[in-house]
Chain A
């Protein structure tokens, strides 16, 4: 096949893919086109065609490696496990800081209630101290707003990972098959840090569990 023929064949394939899938073409389709072009390049070939052949081969290899690397990242795990967990953890932080801030405010208001019963100097000292605590409690609002920004960023990442998962479903399944039966790090899997309040066991539940285990 001459260079002109190869370019015509390549253009024809690309036009067909664009017509079928628009401009968002999965790497798998590009790889298929490269393979098809390589298959047609038989018989005597010129030095120029040989160079094109080499470049196409290199391109096919880059695509194969990229697909494998993306599959190894396990975008399915990121989408189904890591991102939702991260969002839940951040929500729990907001809840914890709000609870803590309100507990602090309860205590400060209790202190303020006794200020009229102490002498003037002590009252002023307590009043100044409680004002500084109120000022310090600003943190809850600010951490909440910053965490909301991070959660929004996570949502954007999730959308992009969804696109990756859709494009690499087959490769990801292959990686999963390869990992079946692979040894897991048992202790590492147990270390999850503080649990989300909805899922956490209470001390009473843990005591009951321990008692049931004898």
Chain B
């Protein structure tokens, strides 16, 4: 099944510069319907606002709500639990990856990352595009 290139994507990071970088990389990959949040609680509010999202790309280390807490909230929410969720983070320790996997992360990207990695991980979650 073809990937819907018009799907709504939510990117979450407390660094505005990082949001801008991810947004531009997604645009170059052909995705233009992108919303932003600067922490987990803001992201959760947006996800529950009524719009349907096809993917969340989230940082981990944010306040007040971290990316892992956001992931757990998403997986515990009956309407959001199947939402593809990619963690993009500088946290690269094994225990971090295990914790994210146990919480139900769809894929995991370690910063710094390149466009090819982003595309590969998105394809593994969404299908080829």
* A binding-site residues for B, Cβ under 8 Å: 98, 101-102, 105, 108-109, 112, 127, 130-131, 134-135, 137-142, 144-145
Q: List 25 A-B contacts (CB under 8 A).
A: A98-B17, A102-B17, A105-B20, A105-B21, A105-B24, A109-B24, A112-B24, A127-B28, A130-B24, A134-B21, A135-B113, A135-B114, A137-B17, A137-B21, A138-B21, A138-B113, A140-B15, A140-B17, A140-B18, A141-B13, A141-B18, A141-B90, A141-B111, A142-B112, A144-B15
Determine whether the beta carbon of B115 is less than 8 Å from that of A135. Answer: yes
Q: Chain A binding site: helix, strand, loop or mixed by DSSP? A: helix
Instruction: Identify 9 new A-B residue pairs, CB closer than 8 A, beyond the known A102-B20, A134-B21, A141-B90.
Output: A102-B17, A105-B17, A109-B24, A131-B28, A135-B114, A138-B18, A141-B15, A141-B111, A145-B90
A-B CB contacts (within 8 Å), total count: 50
Residue of A108, A144, A145 with most chain B CB atoms under a 10 A cut-off: A145
Interface residue? B83 (CB, 8 A): no
Instruction: Name the residue of chain A whose CB is nearest to the CB of B113.
Output: A138
Taken together as a complex, chains A and B put the C-alpha atoms of A14 and B82 apart, in Å, by 66
Taken together as a complex, chains A and B put the C-alpha atoms of A112 and B20 apart, in Å, by 14
Determine whether the beta carbon of B25 is less than 8 Å from that of A134. Answer: yes
Contact residue among A101, A108, A127, A139 (Cβ-Cβ distance under 8 Å from B112): A139
**A residues in contact with B18, CB < 8 Å:** 138, 140-141
Interface residue? B61 (CB, 8 A): yes
Q: What is the size category of the interface that chain B forms with chain A?
A: 10 to 19
Expressed in whole angstroms, the minimum distance between the Cβ of A138 and any Cβ of chain B is 4
Taken together as a complex, chains A and B put the C-alpha atoms of A139 and B25 apart, in Å, by 15
Taken together as a complex, chains A and B put the C-alpha atoms of A177 and B111 apart, in Å, by 52
Expressed in whole angstroms, the minimum distance between the Cβ of B96 and any Cβ of chain A is 14
Contact residue among B15, B17, B61, B112 (Cβ-Cβ distance under 8 Å from A135): B112
Determine whether the beta carbon of A145 is less than 8 Å from that of B61. Answer: yes
Which residues, 1 to 32 on B, are CB-close (under 8 Å) to A? 13, 15, 17-18, 20-21, 24-25, 28
Which residues, 55 to 114 on B, are CB-close (under 8 Å) to A? 61, 90, 111-114
Taken together as a complex, chains A and B put the C-alpha atoms of A127 and B25 apart, in Å, by 10
